[in-house]
Structures are given as C-alpha cells and as structure tokens.
Structure 1
Amino acid sequence: MTSAVLDEALKKAALAWISVADGPALALWVMPLDGTLVVVSGPGEQHAPGLAEAARATVRLRGDTGGLIVVTEAAVARLTPGSEEWAEVAPQLAAKRLNASGTAEEVVQRWASTGCTVVRLTPVDEQPPVERPDLPADSGAAEPRETPARVETPRPFRLHRVKRR
C-alpha cells in the first residue's frame, strides 16, 4: 500500500532522481504508468549505469515546486523485447519520447535492435516511502563528477596592449 503523496508524485513524474546501490543519483526522464515509472536507457538514449541489472533502486521524486517530496525504494523489472509487456509499454514510451527521430514504431524497433533497455520501477510495499518531516535535511547536492567535457579554457591571445576607457 503506497501513500497518497507517493501516488500523486508518481502520477506527475516526468523526471526522477534514481540511484542504484551506492551509486550517484542520476536525473532520468521517466514515464508514469499505472503507479509505476518506466525508464529507457542505452545507446542513443539516456545513460543509466547498472539500472538494467539491478533488483532495487532508490527513487527520489519532486513536487510541483521542484523540491524533494518523497524518497522510495523500487523493484526494477526489465522488459524484454518481444514480450507481451514490451508490446504494451514500449510504444507508449516511444510516443512520449520528445525529439525522437522517426515514428513510435521505428523508435521501438531501434530500441530492440540496438540493445536499449526498458525497465519498470515499482515501489515496494515492505519499505514505506520517506516523506515529510522525515526527509533528509541536507540538500543532497554532490560535488561535480570528473568528465572530459569540462576543460579549462585558455585566456584569449592579445597581440597588442588593450586600452581601457
């Protein structure tokens, strides 16, 4: 049995902070579906390391103001291409995918052929969600991770002295 806050947050979710085991929480695009969240990741899609292989994940959802309102544990179920559940969920997910090249059917075929994973995150009943006033007091912000995209830019070269006015 889930709480009313969690139910409402799941219905309105478009972005969730998802972490697997002790890994960092990643902001991932999600699609709400019948009290669960559906996430696609893989080549050409968002990067979610370890999510497809995990059994559990921690999901943090935000409210209308953008602040954290609920933290819950979720069971991870991977949808396999060709299954009945894949045929039901993947086209809905592809139709909601913004800026996708091609039709929803083409996107679903691309996901199946390139090895993208579609997972369903279902809140677990054994562990109640964390809501106010029990939410963490800290911001949850972490230091930026190292990335090759962050490079120091050199100062511009000036041949002559620049006069200030």
Structure 2
Amino acid sequence: MTTDEAVAEIGAVMKKAGLVWLSWNGQRAMPAWFATVDGAYVVLADRDGSAEQPLPGLADADAVQVVVPAKPATSRLASWTAAVRRLEPGTEEWTAAALVLRTERLNAAGLGNQLDRWQAQADVLVLEPTGAVTTTYDDTHPAVTPPETSATTRGKRPITLHKRARRRPKLS
C-alpha cells in the first residue's frame, strides 16, 4: 500500500469516528475527541491540569498510535501511526484550528474566553498520518488488564436495617 492510498484509507475511517484512542511512548491508550481541519486531524491537549482533555505528554511525543473504534465499541476499525506537531498559539493556523475545535467541543463552559484559555492552558496538536496503517478492521475484543489501584470491591458487609425474619412467624 502506498502512502497516498494509506492516507486516503485513513481519511475514510476518520470520517466515521468522533472519538479516537491515542497511545504514545508506551502508555495506555487514552480517548480523545478531535476535529478535521483542512484534511488534518487536530486534537486539544490539556497542559496545566485544567478542565480540558487530559493527554499528558502528548505534545512532547514524536509519534502516536491512533486507534479508530468501530461503531460496536468492542472492535477497532483501523489503527494508524501519526506524527505529532504542536501549533504555536496566535498563529493563523492555530486560530483556524481552534475555531474548528471550538465548534466540535461539546459541553463547553465559558465560550467567551475559551480561545484565550486554550492559548494559556492547552496545546493544539496536529496528528499527521505517516502512511502506516497498522491494522484494519479487527473484531476481536482488545481486552487489557486494568491498571493497578488501591480500590477494592470486597470488604465488611454493610449493616442492613429492617432485616427480614429468617423464619416465618406463625399466624395463629
């Protein structure tokens, strides 16, 4: 498959997605919403722990693995490799990308100062296809082990008020 064919295939599968899973530097895949700006795929990544999309370290990554999920969420439509490029705030390209991202952002708070907040607290990143489509439609469930946590699901049973009697009382 040539690079042009791969980019065309990536464009076809990305039209069907509203969310992708991104994995970089050996980390777990993280969900990310994106927008398409002039054929490029743009992602907003939080920089300072604000209320935007948390993708720590993505701006510093050279490449990212993009997984496009199929409509039944248990399968992947395609997986491809992208180069990451950070847009400089205030440039014409950044403004165009930010305006498109603004329209795609659901449940946004503070629309009046959103672009100013993004300039100070977030990175606008372009995911440029390298031409490497690693997998196409795969319907096997990509089960992974859950991350380590101190949370538990078993412990002391809760106290129950108004317990039902174990034996039925005699009515007569």
TM range (shorter): 0.7 to 0.9
TM-score (norm 2): 0.78
1:32/1:147 Cα in 2 relative to 1: closer, same or farther (>3 Å)?
farther
1:39 paired residue number: 43
1:63-74 equivalence runs, <5 A: 63-66=70-73, 67-74=75-82
Residues 5-39 of structure 1 show CA distances to partners (whole Å, capped at 9, x for unaligned) of 32211223211011002111111111123333211
Q: CA RMSD in A?
A: 2.5
| 1:75 CA displacement | 0.7
What is the rounded CA distance, in whole Å, between the counterparts of 2:118 and 2:28 in structure 1? 25
1:147/1:97 Cα in 2 relative to 1: closer, same or farther (>3 Å)?
farther
The amino acid across from 1:24 in the alignment is: R
What is the rounded CA distance, in whole Å, between the counterparts of 1:35 and 1:64 in structure 2? 22
What is the rounded CA distance, in whole Å, between the counterparts of 2:5 and 2:69 in structure 1? 16
Stretches of structure 2 that go unaligned for 5 or more consecutive residues are none
The amino acid across from 2:124 in the alignment is: V
What is the rounded CA distance, in whole Å, between the counterparts of 1:87 and 1:9 in structure 2? 26
Residues 110-160 of structure 1 show CA distances to partners (whole Å, capped at 9, x for unaligned) of 1112x21111101113xx313447x5x853221121357x45475321366
Structure 2 counterpart of 1:95, from 103, 115, 124: 103
Structure 1 residue 145 and structure 2 residue 147: aligned? yes
Residues 43-75 of structure 1 show CA distances to partners (whole Å, capped at 9, x for unaligned) of 211211221111110111123444312111101
Stretches of structure 1 that go unaligned for 5 or more consecutive residues are none
8 Å CA contact 2:37–2:100 kept in 1: the answer is: no
1:154/1:77 Cα in 2 relative to 1: closer, same or farther (>3 Å)?
farther
TM-score (norm 1): 0.81
1:51 paired residue number: 58
**Which structure has the larger Rg over C-alpha atoms?**
2
Moved more, 10-19 or 137-146: 137-146
